[in-house]
Structure 1
Amino acid sequence: MSDTFSPPVRRLTITTLAATMAVLGLAAPARAAANPFTAAQACTNDFGGSWAYASDGHRTIYAGGTKVGDVYLMYNGANGHNCVVTLKAISVGSGSGVAALLQVEGSSWVVQSDNYKYYAAVDRSAVDKCVKYSGEVMYGTQWFTNGRTSWGNCG
């Protein structure tokens, strides 16, 4: 006995196997790894101290309909510093372009930008000053940005 399946059963088995493979092959891609850092953790890691989320201090960065990151403005009440953190939402754990930008009233923009695995962060003293902030994430070959371009969080 050379064949255990008759031709119609063999066709049904092959068709079922092919359909199963197609469904498995077209399944939704695995979710991107979540960033293990919060903005407060990033500021603490890089600059020490205790950080609080500033009012009007969050913007999401999109590339079309894809979320690529979040930018946060943080405040340290003990020393009057502001910290800007851009957390990556894509390529988390792999070095890719990410930037954090902070401008303190009366000063130039300060930028921290490189190929980082999780985030970019920058801080400056802003006692009795207002600030602007921005974050950028590279997606493909383009930079995508968001932030606040008006003065705020004064004090």
Structure 2
Amino acid sequence: MTLALLPALAAALLSPAAPAQAAGALAVSHKSPFNCGKTFYANNWSPGHNPSGSLDWQNHGGDGINGETVRATAAGTAYFHDAGNRSYGKWVEVRHSDGSRTRYAHLASMARSAGGSMSVGQGTAIGTVGSTGGSSAPHLHYEQRTSGGAMDTSPTVDGVTVYLGQKKAVRSSNACGGTSTPPPNRDTPANRYTPEQVCGSGYKVIDSAGLVGGSTYLLYNAGNGNNCVVTLKTANVGSRSSASAFLEPQGATRATDSGSYEYYAGPVRRAAPKQCVRWGGSIGSSSYTSPFEHCG
């Protein structure tokens, strides 16, 4: 949804002055703003989303987002606001220990009244998803900002970086009772492989996208200029089920590995020095396809 802020309102929304900090990746590590195990799409719309780099979280599969609990993605102090039927509507800003801040907008309800504040830990409930303010449908508008107020236009949540123009499914590991990942399905073994093991020596993960039942990964080998894609399962591990991985250098044909696999699809390797690549994969009916990106 486009977020149009009147100049006076924009000034009112800015927090008090904070120490200068360069734009870019934030020092605080963020988890998804939803309950443990919940999967929603994170949309980094481009162009036209204002402010650029903010995420709109929306429905994914059978997970409807309206009324969902919204949780702090990292610890800090939460400040509660209400812009009425304009702009963010009901919204919360959490200021973190490094001076950075996150914003959560269009909330149906908040944990405190407007003007209030409270200390929060990572995973503390701060509100519920709604459609207040300048919103035409239920979703959560989410921002990561530096201490100076600059947007991180490629925010990372739960280890998934969502670049401008991307839409990725992210499974939450927030508020999982002290564990770093959602509890696995009963009697389902963990995947014994990592993306680096599958692709081989010299490959490093440079991007990933969450799927229902696993994730797909893009890796790069600086030594030979090759990319590699692998899709790892986290559900039905050890049992054969449909999965795929693909890699397409711009201007070249797409290479795909698909079938019924126990642990992973791939590896799919292609040379793409100084070329943009399109990549992705699927597990069952859940799939991801990137734009052409990671050029050069």
TM-score (norm 1): 0.68
Aligned to 2:227: 82
The separation in 2 between residues aligned to 1:151 and 1:30, in whole angstroms, is 38
Q: How many residue pairs end up in the alignment?
A: 111
**Deviation of 1:108 (Å):** 2.1
Amino acid at match of 1:137: I
Q: For residues 65-123 of structure 1, give each alpha carbon's deviation from its aligned partner in whole angstroms, at most 9, with x where no partner exists.
A: xxx11000000111111000100111111121110011101112211001111101111
Percent sequence identity over aligned pairs: 35
Structure 2: 5+ residue runs without aligned partners?
A: 1-184
Report the aligned-residue RMSD: 1.3
Cα separation, 1, equivalents of 2:208 and 2:186: 27
For residues 124 and 94 of structure 1, the distance between their equivalents in structure 2, rounded to whole angstroms, comes to 28
**Residues 71 and 147 of structure 1 are in contact (CA less than 8 Å); yes or no, is this contact kept in structure 2?**
no
Partner residue in 1 for 2:13: none
Please tell me whether Structure 1 or Structure 2 has the larger radius of gyration of its CA atoms. Answer: 1
Query: Per residue, is there more helix in 1 or in 2?
Result: 1
* Match status 1:51 vs 2:203: yes
- 1:6-155 → structure 2 map (5 Å cutoff): 30=186, 32-44=188-200, 49-54=201-206, 57-62=207-212, 68-121=213-266, 122-138=268-284, 143-148=285-290, 150-155=291-296
Unaligned runs of at least 5 residues, structure 1: 1-28, 63-67
Q: Secondary structure at the match of 1:32?
A: coil
Counterpart of 1:14 in structure 2 is none
Structure showing greater relative contact order (alpha-carbon pairs closer than 8 Å, 6 or more residues apart): 1
Q: Any runs of at least 4 consecutive aligned residues in structure 1 with deviations exceeding 2 A, and if so which? A: none
- Larger proportion of strand: 1
Instruction: Measure, in 1, the Cα distance between the counterparts of 2:233 and 2:249.
Output: 24
| TM-score normalised to structure 2 length | 0.36
Letter in 2 for 1:37: Y
Q: Deviation digits for residues 104-153 of structure 1, max 9, x if unmatched?
A: 01112211001111101111000111101111011xxxx210241x1111
